Amino acid sequence: MGGVAWTEEEDHLLKKCIEQYGEGKWHRIPLLAGLNRCRKSCRLRWLNYLRPNIKRGSFEKEEIDLIIKLHKLLGNRWSLIAGRLPGRTANDVKNYWNCHLSKRLSAQEAEEKQINRNNVEAIRSEPLNFATSPTRLIIPEVPSYQLPQEESTTSTPEVVQQVEDAKEHQVVLQKEDFSYLGLDQEHGYAGDLGMDFQFEEVKFAIDDESSISKWDWDDLIVDMDLWNESL
DNA sequence: AACTTATCCAACCGCCGCTAC
DNA sequence: AGTAGCGGCGGTTGGATAAGT
């Protein structure tokens, strides 16, 4: 193993100690249990192996699908992903991902990204010009450069109509949703690559009515709920 | 059967954020 | 404000085992 394997005796002592004193206070557990292990080892052994209701065996298809979907949303946040999979530990999910899914999906994603590259660059070519208000932010359904400027000094009836038409096709998110997504509220950029990618996925779904993207708006709403709960 | 290579996964390491002082 | 101690997390390691030659 990657370190010194736990013996049955050690497992027994740790289990008995936690049953008696409860989880937490890991710094005291080695002393209380009479174990020559550090607090982290004890915690990890409990969480990944000894804790009741840990699910063993291979992952079911539903679990794999959920892992893939959650990983798209959350990135390598294994504890959050595992939280959605009853009985599975973060370590299990991480190991499964690294052994089974990462290679398979990276090849798949590279292919998808190549297909979508032009669209991404079109969106990225200018900052997304979100209209902001104290409580709401608006994602233009069409790229910002295609939107007429509301503040235009030439507010002819045609321009006014264009603005109204554009507004009809905008998607409105609550401001709080942006913080969940880790978006930079000024420019609409996600704070990290994972969420940036996620955001673009949503944009694809919104931009292209005939989109074959896995993501549609209902997916986002569901996933926003998952995201919200997991924080 | 003997050896090599690939895969799996438990355990460790280093870092981070939070809290108390 | 600085720091120490803690729990928690994700990345990495390396031994065990399976599969291949």
- Alpha-carbon span A164 to A158, nearest angstrom: 10
pLDDT in the model for residue A19: 87
Arithmetic mean of pLDDT over chain A: 61
**Four-residue CA torsion sign, A4, A9, A13, A15:** positive
**Residue A144: its pLDDT value, please?**
33
pLDDT band at A23 (very low <50, low <70, confident <90, very high): confident
Q: Whole-angstrom Cα distance, residue A188 to residue A179?
A: 11
pLDDT at A73: 83
pLDDT (tens digit, 9 = 90+) per residue, A190-227? 333 223 333 333 333 333 333 333 333 334 434 444 54
Strand B contacted by A3 CB (< 7 A): yes
> Is nucleic acid strand B under 7 Å from A2's C-beta?
yes
CB A173, CB A166: distance < 8 Å: no
Would you state the pLDDT for residue A188?
A: 37
User: Does the CB of A88 fall within 7 Å of any strand B atom?
Assistant: no
The per-residue pLDDT for A171 is 36
How many Å apart are A81 CA and C17 C1'? 28
A230 touches strand C (CB under 7 A): no
Check whether residue A80 has its CB closer than 7 Å to nucleic acid strand C: yes
Per-residue pLDDT tens digits for A76-127 = 888 888 888 888 988 889 888 888 887 676 666 666 666 666 554 444 433 3
DSSP A149: P
Q: What are phi and psi of A214, to 5 degrees?
A: -65, -25
Residue type, A111: E
Does residue A37 contact residue A59 with C-beta atoms inside 8 Å? no
Straight-line distance from CA A70 to C1' B18, in Å? 26
Of A2-6, A19-23, A42-46, the least confident: A2-6
A102 CB inside 7 Å of strand C:
no
Q: What is the mean pLDDT of residues A42-51?
A: 89
pTM of the model: 0.56
Categorize the per-residue pLDDT at A189 as very low, low, confident or very high, splitting at 50, 70 and 90.
very low
Is the Cβ–Cβ distance between A227 and A73 less than 8 Å?
yes
CA of A76 to C1' of C16 (A): 27
